[in-house]
Chain A
């Protein structure tokens, strides 16, 4: 499936704005992403396994908060940087 990477995280992905990774759940996709781009996951997911305050993740244009959500191979995942002030 395709993960769309915001500009703030492209220093990890060698400036790629979209990345193809495998995973049955959002947690697995994020783990795969972190395996390929070490450090990326911690910038968007806390040590308690929650999505950080100013990060939003959308699957098929629906916002998700639970990393255990099941995914389909054709799903598109958008990681969005949201409203953190000036």
Chain B
């Protein structure tokens, strides 16, 4: 772990917001006015393409990368330098090396996750794929190369398992995190395959799974069995991480070196199962989750058909239900791990997209919610971008 250094200053945004929405059938941009009361939905981009992630480069606020494939065609990355007006495909999308003759090499099924590099590293991007692979681009997403040794390391390959060991549409590498104080301090997570940290720019990695629970009957010491769904790093206290895991909600203060299951403080009838994890941009004690039913056969819809976000303002000691504006019943929502996010405004704006194609927002840190769009295709990701 890096020595403690000064955390970056809180960034407070003031203008309008764009929501970058990736769906199973294309991408959309939802733009607000300056008050965030009025929103306008774009025409679909890449209609019919499966868009797992659409991300704006916060370093220039103009470049966007889109991780996509179609039902028939293989995975690729498209790049726009004019905020989505025109797109060009990457010259060399993320791909595993060709295996020697007679050996079975891996094939990227889809690019799942995109993370812009450190503010000091212009043009650098990271990508996580399914099956699990870590890739990097040094030229703004035009060419991609395998990054670090993990894609071919026997130990990591064992932890990654086979394509049958992951989520229904394939095991994923996700939650690529960069310490804002140090571009060489990195994290990534795998479903399945645990959480991993590097303090030397990816030359070496250490698994950080101590304190995490696994499915009953399996050994917590085996990294393979750990299934983080979404890991986030506090922007203003990078030594604090939060995680929504297959087996609960956790917080880690790096000085303690172990995950604490703060989800145990959630109401028992709601539980602490879900996909997204959202952090306050300026307060490291405040975080949001969107619980889903993890009982019996794991329905993973809003418990009881009553959607609600939950917020903690004390690092996970207590949680408060936030459901004002949501349907009161018969709303069986699923929100995927990339489909809930916050903006950098005060109060914080929250946004989520459901697999049933609805986008909901709160201008007040979750205290009330309104529907911004409905009838979209199945939503995979929602990212906020400051305009």
CA distance A82 to B71 in the complex (A): 9
Find out whether the CB atom of A48 lies under 8 angstroms from the CB atom of B71. Answer: no
1/0 per residue B44-79: CB within 8 Å of A?
Answer: 000000000000000000000000001111101000
CA distance A9 to B105 in the complex (A): 25
Closest-CB distance, A82 to chain B (whole angstroms): 7
1/0 per residue A37-80: CB within 8 Å of B?
Answer: 01100111111111010110000000000000000000000000
CA distance A50 to B73 in the complex (A): 13
Chain A residues near B76: list those with CB within 8 A: 39, 42-43
User: Chain B: interface secondary structure?
Assistant: loop
1/0 per residue B105-147: CB within 8 Å of A?
Answer: 1111000000000000000000000000000000000000000
Find out whether the CB atom of A42 lies under 8 angstroms from the CB atom of B71. Answer: no
Chain B residues near A55: list those with CB within 8 A: 72-73
Given A47-B105, A48-B105, check contact A42 B95 (CB 8 Å).
yes
Instruction: Identify B107's interface contact among A9, A43, A46, A54, CB under 8 A.
Output: A46
Identify the closest chain B residue to A12 (Cβ): B89
Q: Chain B interface: which size bin?
A: 20 to 34
Chain A residues near B2: list those with CB within 8 A: none
Closest-CB distance, A46 to chain B (whole angstroms): 4
State whether the Cβ of B91 lies closer than 8 Å to any Cβ in chain A. Answer: yes
Chain B residues near A82: list those with CB within 8 A: 72
Given A46-B107, A47-B96, A47-B107, check contact A84 B89 (CB 8 Å).
no
Instruction: Identify B72's interface contact among A39, A45, A49, A52, CB under 8 A.
Output: A52
State whether the Cβ of B5 lies closer than 8 Å to any Cβ in chain A. Answer: no
Identify the closest chain B residue to A80 (Cβ): B72
State whether the Cβ of B281 lies closer than 8 Å to any Cβ in chain A. Answer: no
Given A38-B91, A39-B89, A39-B91, check contact A48 B99 (CB 8 Å).
yes
State whether the Cβ of B93 lies closer than 8 Å to any Cβ in chain A. Answer: yes
Chain A residues near B89: list those with CB within 8 A: 39
Closest-CB distance, B315 to chain A (whole angstroms): 43
Instruction: Identify A43's interface contact among B73, B96, B98, B99, CB under 8 A.
Output: B73
Given A38-B91, A48-B99, A48-B107, check contact A43 B71 (CB 8 Å).
no
Find out whether the CB atom of B71 lies under 8 angstroms from the CB atom of A84. Answer: yes
Chain A residues near B97: list those with CB within 8 A: 47
Identify the closest chain A residue to B104 (Cβ): A48
Find out whether the CB atom of A8 lies under 8 angstroms from the CB atom of B72. Answer: yes
Closest-CB distance, A14 to chain B (whole angstroms): 14
Chain B residues near A45: list those with CB within 8 A: 74
Chain A residues near B104: list those with CB within 8 A: 48
Identify the closest chain A residue to B96 (Cβ): A47
Identify the closest chain A residue to B107 (Cβ): A46
State whether the Cβ of A21 lies closer than 8 Å to any Cβ in chain B. Answer: no
Identify the closest chain A residue to B93 (Cβ): A42
Identify the closest chain B residue to A86 (Cβ): B71
Given A47-B107, A47-B108, A48-B107, check contact A8 B95 (CB 8 Å).
no
Identify the closest chain A residue to B69 (Cβ): A43
Find out whether the CB atom of B98 lies under 8 angstroms from the CB atom of A49. Answer: yes
Chain B residues near A39: list those with CB within 8 A: 76, 89-91
Chain B residues near A42: list those with CB within 8 A: 74, 76, 93, 95
Identify the closest chain A residue to B105 (Cβ): A48
Closest-CB distance, B182 to chain A (whole angstroms): 32
Find out whether the CB atom of A54 lies under 8 angstroms from the CB atom of B71. Answer: yes
Q: Most chain-B Cβ atoms within 10 A of its Cβ — which of A9, A46, A49, A84?
A: A46
Chain A residues near B74: list those with CB within 8 A: 42-46, 52
A-B contacts, 16 listed (Cβ < 8 Å): A8-B72, A9-B73, A39-B89, A42-B76, A42-B95, A44-B73, A46-B74, A47-B97, A48-B96, A48-B104, A48-B105, A50-B107, A52-B73, A52-B74, A81-B71, A81-B73
10 closest A-B pairs by CB: A84-B71, A47-B95, A81-B72, A43-B73, A46-B107, A54-B72, A48-B105, A43-B74, A39-B89, A84-B72
